[in-house]
Amino acid sequence: MKRLLPLLIIALLAGLGWVLLSDNQISDVVIPSEQTTSRAPIDAQTLDEETTLARTESVQAELGRIEKIGFGRFQLAGLVLDEKDEPVPNAWVGAYSSPFPLIDFEKELAEIITPPYEFSINPIAAVYADDKGRFDLKGLPGRVLYLSARAPQRLTQRRARLIPAQLEKGEVFEVRTVAAASLSGVVTHADGTPAANAEIYVMPGLKYMLAAFRNRSIFAERVFADASGRFEMEAVPANMALMTLAIANATEAGLEDILPLRVRAEGVRNIPLAKQGSLSGRVVDAAGDGVGGASVLAIPLDLRMVLPFLTHLDEWVATTSADGQYQFRKAPLASHILVAQSRAGRSAPQS
């Protein structure tokens, strides 16, 4: 099974690339009725009135969501609805280039594989709906897009697909949401002190990840803890095993599983971060002499550290002193693979 794992990963990446590339072609594919329906156009003037499409800045800051006008020339009017076709007031709506979170791009697909790897979940354009569920996204590019909506304990089951023809026709785009749960907690360092401003991701558990990609229903959300280490997510999927990843810095992270939450449940999950230590050693040549100016890469063999390693790669590289000594002042208490490289050559991986 271990031998098959690299092949499975390659196949998954190839499949994702095919999906994204094929979706960028202008198409007249009919959108399923549960996602969009043609209705009479909404009067743009009505949307621009004081009935407010946007929340106040204080409320936006509290929810951690932004409003954004994209770089494109198209505009989209729409409605956010629940399972009973009732409007969802004050929902946040974002437009993305990909059906999958964490591999979003803004202008070109190459952004996904170009360092530094940001694993962004920021939208191309975003806006808040008014109290009647109406929204007006501005600055959309003329290509296939995917819309997502969030409201307290309510979210889209998957990103709704929008084709360029719908932008040109000016149809009202309906975004369907389902009832969800909410999640809160506190992120703490290994010594129990709060981890202020820690970055928290919530996504499906590993056992559900492949199925989520296959169904295009993968969920990923990111928030930041406050000064006391506390975080809140107003909507997470119900009846699904989730995992939470908290990142305080390049070398300090924590991972916790969450059992499926009931619909409208208020889940609480605290996330302790991994214990820290230091890592040091010496790089020598074949004669046993120290090699100065060599670069040493430390690769943590810890699932919690995958994302911070990729997004903060520079901090996992140390340079040796004149006598070949190197040191990582902070490193998780886990196994590492070390690789050194200098002008004279490269070392074999050491663990």
Per the structure, the complete domain to which residue 246 belongs is given by: 181-272
In a domain, 19, yes or no: no
In a domain, 72, yes or no: yes
- Say whether both 287 and 333 belong to one domain: yes
**What does the alpha-carbon distance between residue 22 and residue 111 come to, in Å, rounded to a whole number?**
17
Among the three residues 272, 301, 319, which one is the final residue of a domain in this structure?
Answer: 272
Which are the contacts of 163, defined by CB distance < 8 A and separation ≥ 6? 26, 27, 28, 29, 31, 144
176-202 pLDDT, tens per residue?
999 999 999 999 999 999 999 999 999
In a domain, 2, yes or no: no
275-313 pLDDT, tens per residue?
999 999 999 998 889 999 999 999 999 888 988 888 888
Structure tokens given for 47: 């949307």
- Say whether both 71 and 157 belong to one domain: yes
Which among 227, 228, 220 is positioned nearest to 200, based on CA atoms? 220
Structure tokens given for 269: 């999950």
Structure tokens given for 220: 């990923």
The count of domains in the chain is: 3
In a domain, 110, yes or no: yes
Length of the chain: 351
Q: What is the pLDDT of residue 175?
A: 96
- Say whether both 166 and 229 belong to one domain: no
Q: Which residues of the chain have pLDDT under 70?
A: 1-64, 103, 105, 107-120, 216
Among the three residues 272, 294, 320, which one is the final residue of a domain in this structure?
Answer: 272
Which spans in 172-324 are helix H?
206-215, 306-311
- Say whether both 108 and 238 belong to one domain: no
**What does the alpha-carbon distance between residue 13 and residue 17 come to, in Å, rounded to a whole number?**
6
Residue 208's domain is classified under what CATH number?
Answer: 2.60.40.1120
**What does the alpha-carbon distance between residue 229 and residue 198 come to, in Å, rounded to a whole number?**
7
Report the relative pairing of strands 173-176 and 74-81 from DSSP bridges: parallel
- Say whether both 314 and 200 belong to one domain: no
Are 261 and 183 in contact, with CB atoms under 8 Å apart?
Answer: yes
- Say whether both 173 and 196 belong to one domain: no
- Say whether both 248 and 131 belong to one domain: no
Q: What is the pLDDT of residue 120?
A: 64
**What does the alpha-carbon distance between residue 230 and residue 177 come to, in Å, rounded to a whole number?**
27
Report the b/e string of 209-220 with b at 16+ CB within 10 A.
eeebbeeebbbb
Reply yes or no: is the peptide bond before residue 101 cis, omega within 30 of 0.
no
Report the relative pairing of strands 154-155 and 145-151 from DSSP bridges: antiparallel
Query: pTM of the full predicted structure?
Result: 0.75
- Residue type at position 57: E
